[in-house]
Amino acid sequence: MSVPSAAKPPPFDPGDPLGLDDLLDPEELAIRDTVRAWAADRVLPYVAEWYERGELPGIRELAKELGSLGALGMSLTGYGCAGASAVQYGLACLELEAADSGIRSLVSVQGSLAMYAIHRYGSEEQKERWLPGMAAGDTLGCFGLTEPDHGSDPSGMRTYARRDGADWVLDGRKMWITNGSVAGVAVVWAQTDRDGGGAGIRGFLVPAGTPGFSAPEIRHKWSLRASVTSELVLDGVRLPADAALPGVTGLRGPLSCLSHARYGIVWGSMGAARASFEAALGYARTREQFGRPIGGFQLTQAKLADMALELHKGILLAHHLGRRMDAGRLRAEQVSFGKLNNVREAIEICRTARTILGANGISLEYPVMRHATNLESVLTYEGTVEMHQLVLGKALTGLDAFR
């Protein structure tokens, strides 16, 4: 009995050492390449200057371009949204964060937080009013959950909504809000029960320009500098009854939105890691010390090998979670698994890349330090390392260590 000879494997590709592109269909590859080309044209030539200045000029124009690409509310259906798969959305997040975390954050907050909240929990009238313009990038949104004194424990939030006749009146403050000062609508979460505890938390749609509502921009950041970050101030903000999201009460509402946003981070963090790895690999091939390229030394090769391992393991994990989401089988604990691992490993990849670049690693001529400092914020927002460890600890043991 003759045994057919094995097919010859393709050449080793340093950019895709595990052959992960084989997991993608032609449409997924086309979406990835389209977003990569847009970022290369519209972000990469300018982002170092934006970062140095601490600004994101032209954010409204960028949002409209992203809307034209179908990247805003990308995985939502109807109302002008693209209806893309979870994997397609993840690939877009990876390519956007390979340019800069601030750009991916813009898209994540718009689509996975503000638009997702309206799409999942809003009335038909709210969806028709807001989602088409947000999908097109004509209207930016923000998501007000974190407060100056309440981050990891949103059940203790102090923003309060009280009834006054048929209206709601909101008082409170939100902090570290991406897109806040340029948003046309803010999704604000507030207590409606004086006893607190989270059971009465509801979401409210607050249009920009509503009396008593303001969104001063936060300055002096050393991370996510090419991003608009704001405080939200609500001082007797009066809203009609139909400003409340009717579809949910309690922490389940905002936490489900956060889980959707965390999924995008699982992919996006690998984009920052990939950009840093590629910068280090290119540098190691050309930078000479002791008479030859530093990539020829064992210690440098060990660093590159370890970075490549963690990078492509992280991308493979993101693929796996994306396929589970598309199959309707993804659990919040699994998203915590991905967010905890991939952001933590992405930071280590950036730090190792910096050592390969030496002093040049701190220069904005290279993307490494910019990505490293951005990832310090990504490590914290949408759940700190400690919170995701406790989520997984509870899932593994059945014991709640949060309180």
- For 5-14, which contacts have Cβ atoms below 8 Å and span 24 or more sequence positions? 14/281, 14/308
Sheet holding 185-190, edge to edge: 141-144, 185-190, 202-207
386 is catalytic: no
Token pair 């590709």 in the structure block, residue:
13
Report in angstroms the alpha-carbon separations of 351 from 15, 143, 272, 276, 377.
20, 31, 12, 9, 15
Torsions phi, psi for 174 (to 5 deg):
-125, 155
Tell me the backbone φ, ψ of residue 3, rounded to 5 degrees: -105, 125
Q: Give buried/exposed letters for 334-367 (b at 16+ CB in 10 A, else e).
A: bbbbbbbbbbbbbbbbbebbbebbeeebeeeebb
Token look-up 């956060």 returns 258
Catalytic-labelled residue, pool 345, 376, 382, 386:
382
Would you state the structure tokens that stand for residue 117, as one six-digit string? 């909240």
Tell me the DSSP string of 353-390.
Answer: HHHHHGGGGGSTTSSHHHHHHHHHHHHHTTS-HHHHHH
In the 8-state DSSP scheme, what is residue 152?
Answer: S
Look at residues 146, 383, 178 and name the one whose alpha carbon lies nearest to residue 266: 383
* 111 contacts 72 by C-beta, under 8 angstroms: yes
Q: Dihedral through CA 380, CA 139, CA 231, CA 161, nearest 10? A: -100
Tokens, residue 129: 């009013």
Phi, psi of 264 (to 5 degrees): -65, -35
Token pair 């999201």 in the structure block, residue: 245
Q: Which residues pair with 191 in a beta bridge?
A: 160
The one-character DSSP state at 12 is P
Q: 158 with 150: CB under 8 angstroms?
A: yes
What Å distances lie between residue 353 and 40, 139, 235, 317, 374, CA to CA? 21, 38, 46, 22, 15
**53: Cα separation from own chain's centroid:** 22
- Active-site amino acid positions: 382
